[in-house]
Chains A and B, each alone.
Chain A
Amino acid sequence: MTIVTGKAEARRTLQPGRSGVLRSIWEHRADYAYVLPAIAVMLIVIAYPIYYTIELSFFKTPPGLQLRDKTFIGFDNYTTILTSEVFWAVTWNTLIWTLGSTLISFVLGFATALALHRDFIGRGVLRATLIIPWVISAVAASYIWKWIYHSDFGIIGAVLVGLGLADRPPNFIDNVSTVLPSLIIVNIWREFPFAMIMMMAGLQTVPDQLLRAAKVDGANAWQRFWHVTFPHLRNVSVVTILLLAVANFNSFIIPWIMTGGGPSNASHIWITHIYELAFGRQRWGVASAYSVLLFLILMTLGYFYVRALSGNERKEGSS
């Protein structure tokens, strides 16, 4: 009989003097070798920009000078941000934009998913049609909606004037009080199909026999939804909401293309304000400080997202 020593067996041989994390790394050195190129790329394209942004946030970068002529000012940029009126106005806009877009998109997507879960003629066509806003690029969507809203050519204004409901086409995106809700509508139009798809996928996982059993037990449609369907969709709902929240908090294209943050900064959210500070006004230091704060907020959201995902995996593993 020939005895062949397996490599895996040899790899797990304990090395003298190695313990804990180091030992674990040593034991899995081949695995690390596989992911090393990816880690190297990540460090170059993600870690370094993050480090540089954090570094820049502690420097004054006068717009009339090159970036290399920056001077160290400690936390002054953060103080400037937190004591400025613009910061609070932009933060308020960002909260309205994020919460409004996320929650309404989710509710609308969920409702549509429930409606499309039923069997009826033309369901496939309707599903495909409703996905269109999501597959259209944000840039194209912004221009389409800019024309829909356009006070002089837009269809909404023309209909309102034609029906005698307005003397003059309304200023949807040229008015400080209506611009943000108008942009939120466009954003919801674009992303509710995403929520719809996620929830439709979730609905496929609800056990049919449970719904039938509930029906036999005399539960009405609302009770079946609330006590059977919804609990099964809780995790996918959390993940969907978090994904939407992160995407919205970070959303740039629609507000920038449609209004450029105007009029009178009424549609500036964090990300557009950072862009203008950095690339329009060359306040790299302040813009970096804003970016660091934005990074911390997004990391917090990301933490909850990962936790929600881990919860899902644990649950699936235990079932």
Chain B
Amino acid sequence: MTRITLGSAVLRGTVVTVLMASLMSTSALGAPPVDLSKWSPEYVRSIAGTQNFDTAADCAKVTPLDYKGRLTFWYQGVFEGDPDLLRQYYKDFFDTFRKTYPNIQLEEQALTYNDLLDKFRTALLGNAAPMAVRLQILGGTEFASKGYLEPLKPEDVGYSTDDFWPGAMKAVTWEGVPYGIPTNNETMAFIWNADIFKRAGLDPDKPPATWDDVVKYSKQIHDKLGIAGYGLVARKNAGNTPYRFMPQLWAYGGGVFDEATANPTYEEVELDSPQSKAALQASYDMYVRDKSVPVSALTNQQADNQPLFVAGQLGMMISHPSDYDVMLDLQKKATGTDKDKAQTVIDNMRYGLIPTGPDGKRAVVFGGSNIHILKPEYVEGGKVDEPAAKAIICMWTSPEWSLKMAYAGSNPGNLNGFKTKWMKERLDNIEFLDVTTSMLPYGIPFPALPQAPEIMNIIVPDMLQNALTGAMTVDQAADDAAKRVKELMGGL
């Protein structure tokens, strides 16, 4: 028989109680605010508008509203291809922040997607970075791996890690340490013009089911109507290119590494696999063989496809729901008969799932942005006002603003954003959100490696350009790109 003394009984009881309480609170607090296993457009509609949030009150718990400080902040802002609606929300955010924290002197600077990484790298080399930065998902790992970023997790600004997409959190974690918080998550959709489909003899209500169909439809549209079929984008040093080519590459079963698998290791380079080459061949067929895509594809960004589409000169493209609002903005600016033509295009604008590869595989880039705090030694002046930085991060990643800042185009980083009244309003006002929501499960993040920006912004576009200009054959271009990735990973 074991004798238990009163002291040890009390101790045991205390430990068990604390343990149980801890487990209970973990399950209560740690449970995701939305059930990702039920994810569907209907489910999203069912949870929209079910909860209220008070952003100022929530952020006051992180940084008091009367806090006096100074913050320098850079962010990937609105660019020429974004709708006016987004511009308004960005303006509203900074106005609200200044009203909520009147004693924080905020010096913000917006940079476009294509400029931000270069400028940020340069600033870091001169120890002249801002205190906080909102970077595209592609960039964070590079800067975290080099030790520029402070560890930062959702709990540091009053949220739970479970409030954010698990995939998005992986993209802000380097060697097991989180160093940023996702502000928004995005997947794109396939957009087509039903009127063009009809006139080209295609079913206006059915998007191409496979990428082989895209090639076929693009040729048919071009041959019948003399306009571009698919909006291929292959500009170098522009984020738009990998966002449109990688879904095609992954659908054919290819990859840079094994990033399209459930548990990627990023060990073997697969850009030169037969599947990757098949995807490159599809682009080659459209651009060189069929000449069915814009002639200007090699210098085009998505912003160049938008006017082509609204002018009725382009049949299909990949983009965000926000492109619908962009078309409305462009239509407002048109004059005379162009205005009516643009209206016809808008009336015939359709969104569908991105096509599959030959084996039924469907993929899209899981994109978005993350917000980070810099280490003081790399910041202009050598000091970081952490409470001020946490204040803006709390506000941007709140259910309210992570939803509003992604209003026209993508999804809130904070899953609670789906429960807000603004989400309900958004579902009623923004067309085609359902489609991009449906694409989320097919989202594949770019490899979370420090080398990812160079691979996606330079090596992959170079591969496309080498093949499409005839500087190399498809095989040679893919082999060359694979060799460059291997060299890069080898430290060259």
Contacts and interface: CB of A to CB of B under 8 A. Distances in A.
Interface of A: 62-67, 146, 150-153, 157, 168-171, 173-176, 258-266, 276, 279-282
A152 B146 contact: no
B320 to A, nearest CB: 22
Given A67-B125, A260-B236, A280-B237, A266 B296 contact: no
A176 B468 CA distance: 10
A84 B297 CA distance: 29
B44 interface: no
B469 A176 contact: yes
B291 A168 contact: yes
B295 A260 contact: no
A259 B235 CA distance: 8
B213 to A, nearest CB: 23
B469 A263 contact: yes
A173 B300 CA distance: 11
Nearest to B307: A153
Nearest to B378: A66
Nearest to B291: A168
20 contacts: A64-B145, A65-B146, A67-B125, A151-B296, A168-B291, A171-B298, A174-B297, A260-B236, A262-B235, A262-B236, A262-B465, A263-B465, A263-B471, A264-B465, A264-B469, A265-B462, A280-B454, A280-B457, A281-B454, A281-B458
B142 to A, nearest CB: 8
B491 interface: yes
A175 B298 CA distance: 9
Contacts, number: 95
B122 interface: yes
B458 A280 contact: yes
A117 B472 CA distance: 51
A279 B122 contact: yes
Interface in B69-93: none
A176 B458 contact: no
Interface string B279-299: 000000000000100111111
**Which 8 A-B residue pairings sit nearest by Cβ, starting from the closest?**
A151-B295, A264-B471, A174-B298, A279-B118, A263-B298, A151-B296, A263-B465, A264-B469
B124 to A, nearest CB: 8
Interface in B341-397: none
Given A63-B454, A260-B238, A279-B118, A152 B298 contact: no
A146 B118 contact: no
Interface of B: 118, 121-122, 125, 145-148, 228, 234-238, 291, 294-299, 304, 307-308, 313, 450-451, 454, 457-458, 461-462, 465-466, 468-472, 488, 491
Contacts of A266: 469, 471
Given A152-B308, A260-B236, A279-B122, A64 B294 contact: no
Contacts of B234: 263
A285 B191 CA distance: 44
Contacts of B235: 260, 262
B454 A152 contact: no
Query: Which among B145, B234, B468, B469 has the highest number of chain A CB atoms within 10 Å?
Result: B469
A289 to B, nearest CB: 15
A259 B465 CA distance: 12
Contacts of B472: 264
A152 B145 contact: no
Contacts of A168: 291, 295
Given A152-B308, A258-B299, 20 more contacts: A63-B450, A63-B451, A64-B491, A66-B147, A150-B304, A151-B295, A151-B296, A152-B228, A173-B296, A174-B296, A174-B299, A175-B469, A260-B237, A260-B299, A263-B236, A263-B468, A263-B469, A264-B462, A276-B237, A282-B454
B458 A262 contact: no
Contacts of B121: 279, 282
A258 B465 CA distance: 15
A14 B458 CA distance: 65
A265 B465 CA distance: 9
A152 B294 CA distance: 7
- For A64, A153, A171, A173, the residue with the greatest tally of chain B CB atoms inside 10 Å of its CB is A64
A62 B146 CA distance: 11
A279 B458 CA distance: 12
Contacts of A282: 121, 454
Given A152-B294, A281-B458, A173 B299 contact: yes
Contacts of A263: 234, 236, 298-299, 465, 468-469, 471
A276 B298 contact: no
A151 B313 CA distance: 12
A174 B295 contact: yes
A171 B295 contact: yes
Contacts of A261: 236-237
Q: Which of B146, B457, B458 has the largest number of chain A CB atoms within 10 A? A: B146
A84 to B, nearest CB: 12
A255 to B, nearest CB: 12
Q: Which of B228, B299, B471 has the most CB of A within 10 A?
A: B299
Contact of A264 (B308, B451, B466, B488): B466
